[in-house]
Amino acid sequence: MSTASTIPASTSPGPADPEPADPRPAGRMSTEDRKSVPFTAAVETLALAGRRLVHLRKAPGRLLAVTLNSLITMLAIGYVFKDAVIVPGGGSYPEFLLPAALMQVGLASIAPTAIAVAMDLKGGLTDRFRSLPITRPSVLIGHTIGDLVVGLIALVLVVGAGVLVGGRVHTGFLPLLAGLGLLVVFLYVMIWVGVLLGLTMRNPESIDGIGAVMTLGLSFLSNAFMSIDRLPSWLRPIAEWNPVSSVTNAVRQLWGNPVAVGTDFPSRHPGVVIAVSLTVVFVLATLFSFRRYRVA
């Protein structure tokens, strides 16, 4: 019966043992990597927002463009016509007008944001951002946060002008904060509307005209300056479902200002109109449009 011979192990140095294979499936991140993604995205978003604010120092006219329309509303319409306009249910017209003027800051932010987005697309800056190893939503979110800061400065200036012409809040500090919070949400959503407009049109000249039409149209086809019961019957449903009407009346109710509330569904449920027609539709549509964007 034969026995197998044993081969002595070689003592000469050989090639290093290969690294053990990674048991994780391809494309899967480790727990540490997954945890760092939100922090990295936040840093990238703040960096891009800072870039947008640096531009404000070089082009302060953007702040003037957002603020001037509301200031004219308060100083011209509110002061000149305060004795000529009949407020629904009686009361002070400057108080009736103050939430509308603050709302216009959001509408006036549509065109500057849209033009900036279109210019970034036209100049190829957006394509360079997309080629970098950064999260794609941070490009848009950083842009909107920078413009939100500009809008907040404009809101402070318009509040000061509104107080000078007679605008007041009668319900205390907490309702004041709640009304301002609602206006800030409206402002931020209008900035997303501007982003969507810039992504879809990409023509700064056309955007400028459309932005002005949107600002005036949404303002006057609402209860911002007068009660909608004075509008023709065929225009009244448009004004009732206009989100501007819901936002303006909600702020008036919070501040104890004269209110033009009807029996229609948007007047009785302004939160539904604000949440559905503004935040969900425009923000999701903008992100979807940016994801599908291709170089022209």
Closest to 64 (Cα-Cα) out of 175, 164, 170, 157:
157
49 contacts: CB under 8 Å, gap ≥ 6: 142, 143, 145, 146, 149
The burial of 107, by beta-carbon neighbours within 10 Å (0-12 exposed, 13-18 middle, 19 or more buried), is given as buried
Q: For the whole model, what pTM was predicted? A: 0.78
Taking only the tens of pLDDT, the chain with its 296 residues reads 445 444 454 455 555 555 555 554 444 544 444 445 677 777 778 887 887 788 777 777 778 888 988 888 888 887 777 777 777 777 788 888 899 999 999 999 998 889 888 887 777 766 676 666 677 677 788 888 989 999 999 999 999 888 888 888 888 899 999 999 999 988 988 898 888 888 888 788 788 888 888 888 888 888 888 878 778 888 888 888 888 888 888 898 899 888 766 656 666 666 666 666 666 666 666 666 656 555 44
